[in-house]
Amino acid sequence: MAVYRYGKYEPVIGKGCYISDSARVIGNVTLGECCYVGHGAIIRADYGIIDIGQGSAIEENVVIHVGIDKKCILEEGITLGHGSIIHGGLIKAFAVVGMGAVVSRDTTVGRWAVVAEGAVVPRGEIVEDEIIVAGIPARVIGKVDIKHKEFWQRVKGVYRNLALNYAKDLVRLY
């Protein structure tokens, strides 16, 4: 794993986290317990603060960055899909950002909200709790219901297990 201090800022990594050896965690970053940070992910807080809640999944090739003197807060149980880009703001508990989606500066993504694959949430926008958005720019296409929550609870469990099991079960062969 590649965890870097930048100046006086050193990442704080919670118990039971998995950070891939090809991922980068830089600067003023806090990862809660049992987070998964996939291969190629970059979490960079050189001039701001990134705080990621417990049980969150930062999948492969995700980029999280924050502006100067800004905060990026991801509450517990967040799922960031492969290749998504997060640039500050607030993502509330259990939200999902789909593969290739972009969540811009000064945004809020609500609790249990879903940002669909490839969507773009423009600067300053708010995605309400339990709402599904899609498109460019992102627009409401539906509401999260119990079947969505049940599905995402299973997926979130898979990534919590990966965080715990990769440390012992992932073996580099070459």
Domains and CATH numbers, the chain: 2-169 (2.160.10.10)
Long-range contacts of 86-95 (CB under 8 A, 24+ apart): 86/62, 88/48, 92/129, 93/53, 94/149, 94/152, 94/156
Terminal-to-terminal C-alpha distance of the chain: 16
Q: Rounded distance, CA 13 to CA 10, Å?
A: 10
What does the pLDDT read at residue 88?
Answer: 84
**How far is it, in rounded angstroms, from Cα 49 to Cα 160?**
23
Across all residues in the chain, what is the average pLDDT?
Answer: 95
Which pTM was predicted? 0.94
pLDDT digits (tens, 9 = 90+) for 46-57: 999 999 999 999
Q: What is the pLDDT of residues 143-164, one digit of tens each?
A: 999 999 999 989 888 888 888 8
CA-based R_g, the chain, Å: 15
**What pLDDT is attached to residue 1?**
64
